[in-house]
Structure 1
């Protein structure tokens, strides 16, 4: 690991190093590069906006944000975002991290795919969401400094990311597609499994046990 990339110092405490080891052990190159890009994109956006945020908490959030897609941390019945958030909480509790900081990390990970909510939360939450949006969907691509963007991608290559991330998402929750009801990951299931019929909110209302 480099000490600094695109003007952002990479956290190197015992906590940060142990978190890196977990992602390296249970993730793959796709998740490793993506998670580090997300951290750097978010940190730079926070720096440029003069936001006050904890760099290490943002880093831990980024490293754990997709860990719920891995076999080691995937539950049989929870959203993958919650699996990652729970894994981060258990990890941080081992280091006596303050409860308030743990809640921030949990929220950042659990809400990182929640459009319309995460961007209005605390800086660590909104910056993780922003970093994910830029790396996955190109949100704010033209506004982000091109030289910094290129430096980040050089350090953590995309390597056919656009083609590989959708099947990687699906692989992480294909055993529990019902957990994508009401969130954007339902689009992934429909894309990868065209015959899948997702739960419909209106049908839930009309077929509820209420008489009227």
Structure 2
């Protein structure tokens, strides 16, 4: 196991190691490398901004944030983000973690694809969001120190990540495309199924049961 990257030490607690084992068992190399890059990108951003945050909670959040895409943790009817958040909550409850910390991890995972909200919440939530944004869409790429960015990539290679992650997203929720209503993952469904349309917000209002 890698112990330190870009000046950030990987938490070496039993909880952290068990969380890593879960992702290793139920995820794949794509999710493993991506989730670790997200952790280090978020942690470096927190260090650079001199934020006060819990490194272990950020680590668990990063490892679980896409676990809802896996068959083992995917529900038939919930957003994959919520599946991952629920998995993290169940996991953390086994370690006598305070309820407030568990809720923080839940929020970080559930909101990691929700721009306009996540970045304004607690540091752990905002840092996970920033790490995901940098790794997936390149948000903050120019502002992130190039040498540290390359160090993270060397430790956890991208390996054609741009070509692989969109199909990976789709595989994770193609059985429940309706869960992408109102969030950016609807774009993924329409990438593979251009004809697909979720319900329309305005139509929901116009055709609501209210009589007026």
TM tier, smaller: over 0.9
SS of the residue 2:34 aligns to: helix
CA drift of 1:114 comes to 0.4
Residue 156 of structure 2: aligned partner: 156
Mapped partners of 2:167, 2:211: distance in 1: 42
Q: Which runs of 5+ in 1 are unaligned?
A: none
Mapped partners of 2:22, 2:70: distance in 1: 11
Runs of 4+ in 1 over 4 A off after TM superposition: none
- Structure-to-structure mapping, 1:32-71, within 5 angstroms: 32-71=32-71
Mapped partners of 2:193, 2:162: distance in 1: 18
Mapped partners of 1:32, 1:204: distance in 2: 39
Residue 27 of structure 1: aligned partner: 27
Residue 113 of structure 1: aligned partner: 113
Which deviations, in whole Å up to 9, do the C-alpha atoms of 1:36-94 show, x marking residues without a partner? 00000000000000000000000000000000000000000100000000000000000
- Structure-to-structure mapping, 1:44-193, within 5 angstroms: 44-193=44-193
TM-score by length of structure 1 reads 0.99
Mapped partners of 1:171, 1:207: distance in 2: 32
TM-score by length of structure 2 reads 0.99
CA drift of 1:12 comes to 1.1
1:206 equivalenced with 2:206 (yes/no)? yes
Paired positions, count:
212
Mapped partners of 2:165, 2:116: distance in 1: 22
Mapped partners of 1:56, 1:161: distance in 2: 25
SS of the residue 1:94 aligns to: helix
